[in-house]
Amino acid sequence: MTPKLKAAIAAIQPLSATERQQLLQILIQSHPDEEFLQRVLQQEKALTVQLPTGETVLVKPQPLLPPLPVLSGSIPKGWKDAI
């Protein structure tokens, strides 16, 4: 965690939950989507965002899927005709 981030977290601690949510909405609106999502990935924890309509969205990072295995063997000729 960077010193800048630690200072920002300390600064928002006195805010109420509603004020923190409003601040989060402002930050989301002021940052491009990709940058916001990169920050969620870096923090490695879920983040709930409340939309102006009152609905909430859970943004949760997930690890990359492993690549599919390469299987040995061959595909027989005429396989399309068998379908």
Q: Is residue 82 part of a domain?
A: no
DSSP result, 41-53: HHHTS-EEEE-TT
pLDDT tens across 4-27, in order? 767 777 777 787 878 777 777 777
Q: How far apart are CA 21 and CA 13, in angstroms?
A: 12
Question: Which two tokens mark 81?
Answer: 């005709």
Q: Is residue 74 part of a domain?
A: no
Q: How far apart are CA 37 and CA 11, in angstroms?
A: 23
Q: How far apart are CA 13 and CA 2, in angstroms?
A: 17
Q: Is residue 44 part of a domain?
A: yes
- Domain range enclosing 50: 3-59
Q: 58: part of which helix (H) or strand (E)?
A: strand 56-59
pLDDT tens across 32-57, in order? 677 777 777 787 788 887 777 788 88
Q: Is residue 71 part of a domain?
A: no
Q: Is residue 65 part of a domain?
A: no
- Predicted model pTM: 0.37
